[in-house]
Structure 1
Amino acid sequence: MTDSADLPLIHVVDDEAPFRRSLLFLLESVGWQAVGHASAEAFLQAAPAFPPGGGCIVLDIRMPRVSGLELQRRLLAAGSPFPVIFMTGHGDVELAVQAMKDGALDFLQKPFKDQLFLDAVERAVQVSHERHAARQRRGEAMDILARLSSREREVARLLALGLANKEVARLLGISDNTVHVHRQRVMEKSGTGSAADLARLILRADPGGLD
């Protein structure tokens, strides 16, 4: 028997109650967990954590007070791992295209076919797993790099860029021997064995870390 915690959880945010209920029923009929929210404010107030089984947000683009686009912007600013699928009415395609440029995964124009909706949700759930795994890898890499002193981080970055000990020593104004000691400590603390390993670790923590 599958634990409910392992099932994907889909959040449906739409101010039209009958439509919202119909989507929840459809999602539950195929075995997913689903929660409805009557407004963007209600979703923000609930502040749902990312579920172990993955999930996504199905979001109406036009709602009173806080729009779907505004909710998307807030989620992006908060670094939410939830993929967003927008639902749009007639004439909202331009808005939906902008939402896609801002990171939405997909948009569906109402009324849409059940299977089209379920396929979009399936894709979003898969993406949510990938994003969550990437966030975990990033967090682990950041934790490892946090063990280094500020000087060790400087040395690690330069080594990761492919510089030799002598070049690192010259750039930092320290002796070759001091760089050698720092290099050993960096490798020990980070569990890396080469400059290439260090580069991969730094880029996992921050894709722009070697710019």
Structure 2
Amino acid sequence: MEVTSRFSGWTEDTARDYVVIVVDDDAAVRDAVSGLFASIGLQVVQHTTAEALLAAPMPDRPSCIVLDISLDGLSGMDLQAQLREDGIHTPIVFLSGVGDVPMTVMAMKRGAINFIAKPFREQELLDAVFEALHLDSQRRADLERTAALRIGFASLTPRERDAMTLLARGLSNKEVAEALEISPATVKTYRAQTMKKMQARTFAELVTMARALGLVRAAPD
């Protein structure tokens, strides 16, 4: 099967690094959808109910959920809401044979990546899944970067943290020195030590790190 994708992170060699979770109580649809993903090398996990998904561990790799909106028991929309409440942000692609415009709008407002009506074109579904996997890859990478930044920030002394915060907010060395009641030379030392510990190559990069840590608000456009 020839597959096209705008997802640069996906290749046939790396496909098994990604997981697609298929939740549908129609065995024929579930098997067809799962077979489509498996045919291009993606890992597939199947569930017949929303409750089964909630009871199972979530993959620790980039993943997405292909979810039938009309399920016995907990509905697809209910599952979406429960996952959000549980702090699980795995992207969702909805499938529906009965979906209408209001339902689509609600699903998208709640963060669904796409809403595809049955019967669907294979490439349409694959495009939506590739987009979802790409977004989850980015989300996980962002979380890893933030975790690394927090480790670096934790390694700073209290004074270095204060100096980093004030410098990132745009204060001059003199202003930081006055605020912390230290000398400008000491501020320069803190700045150099902070950049080294945070592995920031430039001061601009250190400011970006401070924003990612929530120490500084980004300037409005």
| TM tier relative to shorter chain | 0.7 to 0.9
1:121-173 per-residue CA deviation (whole Å, 9 max, x = no partner) reads: 22222232222222222222222112123442222121112211221233345
Question: Which residue does 2:5 correspond to in 1?
Answer: none
Choose the corresponding residue for 1:169, options 177, 182, 189.
177
Letter paired with 2:215: G
1:182 partner amino acid? Y
Out of 37, 43, 65, the position equivalent to 1:27 is 37
Q: Show the 5 A alignment for 1:130-145.
A: 130-145=138-153
Shift of 1:200: 1.7
2:67 maps to 1:67 = no
Counterpart AA for 1:87: L
Classify the secondary structure of the residue corresponding to 1:138: helix
Secondary structure at 1:201 match in 2 = helix
TM-score (norm 1): 0.81
Match of 1:128 among 126, 136, 153: 136
User: What is the identity, as a one-letter code, of the residue corresponding to 1:171?
Assistant: A
Partner of 1:48: 58
Match of 1:12 among 17, 22, 43: 22
Write the letter of the residue equivalent to 2:46: G
SS in 1 for 2:44: strand
- C-alpha change, 1:134 and 1:79, in structure 2 (3 Å) is farther
- Whether contact under 8 Å (1:81, 1:132) holds in the other structure is no
Identity %: 40
Q: Partners of 2:36 and 2:78 in 1: how far apart?
A: 26
Q: 1:193 to 1:125 in 2, by over 3 A?
A: closer
1:210 to 199, 207, 216: 216
Cα distance change of structure 1 residues 159 and 4 upon mapping to structure 2, 3 Å threshold: closer
Q: Is 2:127 the partner of 1:119? A: yes
Q: Could you tell me whether the CA contact under 8 Å between 2:177 and 2:183 is conserved in 1? A: yes
Gaps of 5+ in 1: none
Cα distance 1:10–1:154, how it changes in 2: closer, same or farther (>3 A)?
same
- SS for the counterpart of 2:66 is strand
Residue 102 of structure 2 corresponds to residue 94 of structure 1: yes
- After superposition, the C-alpha distances for 1:11-39 in whole angstroms (9 at most, x for unaligned) are 00122233212211222223322111112
Deviations 1:30-72 (A, max 9, x none): 3322111112221121122232xx3311012233443323332
- The answer as to whether partners of 2:16 and 2:42 remain within 8 angstroms in 1 is no
Aligned residues: 206
> TM-score, with normalisation over the residues of structure 2?
0.78
